[in-house]
Amino acid sequence: MRFSRELSSMATFCALQPALAMERTPEAVRTEPMEALVVTVSGMRGNSIIRQAGHEYTYGPGELVFVNNCVPYTLLSSAVADPSGLLIPMSRLGRHRQTVERMQRPIAANTPLSRAAAAFVRRFAAETSVLSTSTTPPSSAEQAAVDLVLAALAELDGSPVAMEDNTLFIRELAADLIERHHRNASFSPDSIAEHMHLSRRQLYRYFESSEKSLAGRIADRRLDTAVETLVGHPAMSVSAVAAASGFPTVATFRNRFKARFGIGPVEYRQRLGR
């Protein structure tokens, strides 16, 4: 199953596929030229393999992968996979086209920048190719996506791009930090600011136009984890669920839970058990 969409200056795609081998042969490169950089990331567990230019690389979920569509390649997956990503014309890469043409390793390093870019690529691809086909994202959103991808690509070339003033990068990095650390009860917006070497005031400036505050984002992610734990571990006490999800107190957990669902966690679990 595959969804794809042509935007004003690039294309996006999302797929759900069984184990398979997909090949772009020398003949296809010659007869069906498509000068584009394929940027892809998967979310499901399991590794995949890319073979290109005589080399083989293994990558896993959450890793950002760059594929030069001008050169023959083979993609192999041994299990069900859900790749999604972007097709960016080489003409949009500017000087970074040389990086694509000579890159030695097509998999981005595990850095805050690459994780932020990977998370954004997955969401942007889903929102444009599957969820919001009736609306077209503004060109500024496409350019922001390209800028973030190029910054991650530049890391492969040993020439990192400064992203401190890029709102998209700051927001995606904050989301990545929340995802990885929200279970820690001491994690807070101050923790994010410290990690990014920003003052609290500087950090909040990047979220002024956002509907949800940083504290609200952290609380919402903790609540999502709590619901998963509450349902998945029916024998676990409410206090243990709260602690495992990062809530500093049981009272805070109960208040947040009731504000979203209208009932407490105990009643919620009881209703599910009927």
Residues 15-52 pLDDT 10s:
999 999 999 999 999 999 999 999 999 989 889 999 99
CA pseudo-torsion sign 230, 234, 240, 244: negative
Residue ranges of domains in the chain, CATH in brackets: 2-159 (2.60.120.10), 169-272 (1.10.10.60)
249 pLDDT band (50/70/90 cuts)?
Answer: very high
Mean pLDDT of 216-240: 93
Mean pLDDT of 133-152: 81
Report the mean per-residue pLDDT for the chain. Answer: 88
pLDDT at 73 over 70: yes
Which of 102-116, 131-145, 163-177 has the highest average model confidence (pLDDT)?
Answer: 102-116
pLDDT of residue 218: 95
Query: What percentage of the chain exceeds 90 in pLDDT?
Result: 52
pLDDT of residue 164: 52
pLDDT of residue 205: 87
pLDDT of residue 67: 93
Q: What is the CA 22 to chain-centroid distance, rounded?
A: 23
Let me know: does 49 contact 81? Beta carbons within 8 Å: no
Mean pLDDT of 109-136: 82
pLDDT at 153 over 90: no
Residue entry with tokens 């850095």: 111
The larger pLDDT score, comparing residue 184 to residue 119, is at 184
pLDDT at 64 over 80: yes
pLDDT of residue 160: 57
pLDDT of residue 148: 85
Task: Determine which of 154-168, 203-217, 231-245, 247-261 has the lowest per-residue pLDDT on average.
Answer: 154-168
pLDDT at 133 over 70: no
CA atoms within 13 A on the CB side of 107: 18
* Token reading at 243: 């602690």
- Give the DSSP letter of residue 127: I
pLDDT at 274 over 60: no
> Comparing C-alpha atoms, which of 165, 175, 173 is closest to residue 202?
165
Q: Kindly report, residue by residue over 200-215, the tens digit of the pLDDT.
A: 888 888 888 888 889 9
Longest dimension (CA), the chain: 65
Mean pLDDT of 62-91: 93
